[in-house]
Amino acid sequence: MKFSDMLKNKKKNQKPEVMNENNEVKPEIEQELEQVSEILSHQGDGGDSDNRPASDVQDQPSEEEKLKAELAEANNKYLRLYAEFDNYKRRTNKERIDLLQTAGKDVLVSLLPVVDDFDRALKSMETATDVSAVKEGIVLVQNKLKSILTQKGLKEMESVGTVFDADIHEAITNIPAPSDDLKGKVIDEVEKGYYLNDKVIRFAKVVVGA
């Protein structure tokens, strides 16, 4: 019998006496109370519970496990970044070495025709009898060489007659100036200086008037 049915039956009938004449709980009342207690206990066992099963709680990672997972992920990211940077460094070093090794390639290729002209001039000098013709050929080769170097940014430094400048001149010696207006100026040039794209690449070695 269900608990609700029992309540309905009790409402229909008169209120039963719980105690007998010996002031003891009647057996039938005690039996009903036991049935009610059993029904209530079953309802408590079968009802919904907010508590999750122990297995579900055990399946969730602990805070320590979460921290370990985050640390492992951070280490993996660091290793990937380090590997990428190492590859980038190796690639740039290789490109720099290749650039240094081939930096003068264009200049050397442009100078090869001049080398060919010198070879031909030397060969012609073996049987040449006209010195003026040989001299003229050498001058042409020299002009060709200077023209190519000028195209590459090379420029001769004009020093004779200019005021001595320690930034572009290297004084070999001082000699008495022939005139007062040449004092402190370059009188002679022992070795010519050069610019490369307006930057000094060789100082002119000069004689300065004192």
Phi, psi of 162 (to 5 degrees): -95, 160
Query: What is the token pair recorded at 102?
Result: 């081939």
Amino acid 134: pLDDT: 84
Checking if the pLDDT of 6 tops 80, the result is: no
Q: How far is it, in rounded angstroms, from Cα 176 to Cα 207? A: 10
Lowest mean pLDDT among 50-54, 60-64, 120-124, 202-206: 50-54
Percent of the chain with pLDDT over 70: 74
* CATH (one of 1.10.3720.10, 3.40.50.970, 2.30.22.10, 3.90.380.10) for 154-210: 2.30.22.10
Span between the terminal Cα atoms of the chain, in Å: 137
Amino acid 20: pLDDT: 58
Q: What pTM value is reported for the model?
A: 0.49
Q: Give residue 61's pLDDT band: very low, low, confident or very high (50, 70, 90).
A: confident
Q: How far is it, in rounded angstroms, from Cα 8 to Cα 29? A: 16
- How big is the chain by its Cα radius of gyration, in Å? 55
Amino acid 182: pLDDT: 87
Amino acid 128: pLDDT: 77
Lowest mean pLDDT among 17-26, 33-42, 188-197: 17-26
How far is residue 99 from each of residues 87, 103, 154, 165, measured CA to CA in Å? Answer: 18, 6, 20, 34
What pairs with residue 197 in β-bridges?
none
Model confidence pLDDT, tens digit, residues 138-197: 899 999 999 999 988 899 999 888 899 889 999 998 898 888 888 889 899 999 999 998
How far is residue 75 from each of residues 71, 80, 86, measured CA to CA in Å? Answer: 6, 9, 16
Amino acid 21: pLDDT: 60
